[in-house]
Amino acid sequence: MLMIFIVVLVGLIAILFIFRKKDVDRNISEFPLKWREILLKEVSFYKKLNTLDRSIFEERVQLFLKNKKITGIQTEITDEDCIFIASGAIIPLFRIGEFYYPRLNEILVYPEHFNTNYDLKGEDRDVLGLVGAHGIMNGTMILSQKALRQGFRNAKDGRNVVIHEFIHLIDGADSSMDGLPEVLLEHQYTIPFMKIVKEEIDNIHQGKSDINPYGGTSDTEFFAVVSELFFENPRKLEKDHPELFSILKKLFKVNENY
């Protein structure tokens, strides 16, 4: 009994911490027309929203951009890049509430893929995005501009590096980036979620799954990879992995018609 109480209490504190709104500069003006055109043209999640939800989405885009620093490294950042980054931050938690990732200070945009030494010229440049909670990467996200743009322009391929990296931050909001997003998981779904994750990772390892094999490298990557697919191509995930789709719907609190 005491254990349940402690678990619930820790959960509540984590939720309060993750959704705290203090320190957010809310001084914004009218949403720029040019930004709306980008959303309508490139962000399929936004396009599917009704008028009221679109205005909520737009306000969150503005607040995110007002409160986060985005810096191009050896590249020019466009309005489109900024809208893509903000959208990737907002989409996963859109139905849950406002959240501006208090532990994230800056997003660095590299022109191309990079390697694990943050090197743009060295070997093995296969990293599309990175987010860190420790050491020199504390509070920083790095994104490949090329991958960032591809993520939104190929709306149905199930790949979106921005959503992927923000999912890692949501996963880590309970202090452990372990593929178990305690801030989203209601107690009764924890065991079923862990069971599905194990089964699906086993299927990837046995070559019996069409999920991006990178998801088989760890529970953390699995959660990020399937969340990308959930937000990019929900119909495919629903058709091929109905149980997983159903539990992700509960996690992200999207409605029946999603």
Contact residues: Zn ion, CB under 5 A: 221, 224
Nearer to Zn ion, 54 or 125 (CB): 125
Q: Which residues pair with 143 in a beta bridge?
A: 109, 129
In sequence order, the 6+-apart residues with CB closer than 8 A to the CB of 97 are 19
Least distance in angstroms from the C-beta of 109 to Zn ion: 17
Nearer to Zn ion, 169 or 224 (CB): 224
Least distance in angstroms from the C-beta of 221 to Zn ion: 5
Q: Tell me, what DSSP letter sits at residue 213?
A: G
Report how far residue 50's alpha carbon sits from residue 186's, in angstroms, rounded to the nearest whole number.
Answer: 28
Report how far residue 110's alpha carbon sits from residue 129's, in angstroms, rounded to the nearest whole number.
Answer: 9
Least distance in angstroms from the C-beta of 159 to Zn ion: 12
Nearer to Zn ion, 65 or 131 (CB): 131
DSSP codes of every residue in 83-111: HHHHHHHHGGGTTT-----TT--EEEEES
Report how far residue 156's alpha carbon sits from residue 225's, in angstroms, rounded to the nearest whole number.
Answer: 14
Nearer to Zn ion, 111 or 132 (CB): 132
Least distance in angstroms from the C-beta of 168 to Zn ion: 6
Question: β-pairing, 129-131 with 140-144?
Answer: antiparallel
Least distance in angstroms from the C-beta of 16 to Zn ion: 27
Task: Quote the tokens at residue 240.
Answer: 């091929």
Residue nearest to Zn ion (CB): 224
**Would you report the helix, strand and coil content of the chain in percent, each value rounded to 5?**
55, 10, 35
Beta strands in 55-169 (DSSP E): 69-72, 106-110, 129-131, 140-144
Task: Look up residue 47 and give its amino acid.
Answer: K
Nearer to Zn ion, 185 or 224 (CB): 224
Task: Look up residue 76 and give its amino acid.
Answer: E
Report how far residue 219's alpha carbon sits from residue 179's, in angstroms, rounded to the nearest whole number.
Answer: 5
Cβ contact 143:162 at 8 Å: yes
Nearer to Zn ion, 224 or 248 (CB): 224
Nearer to Zn ion, 165 or 182 (CB): 165
Least distance in angstroms from the C-beta of 224 to Zn ion: 5
Least distance in angstroms from the C-beta of 127 to Zn ion: 9
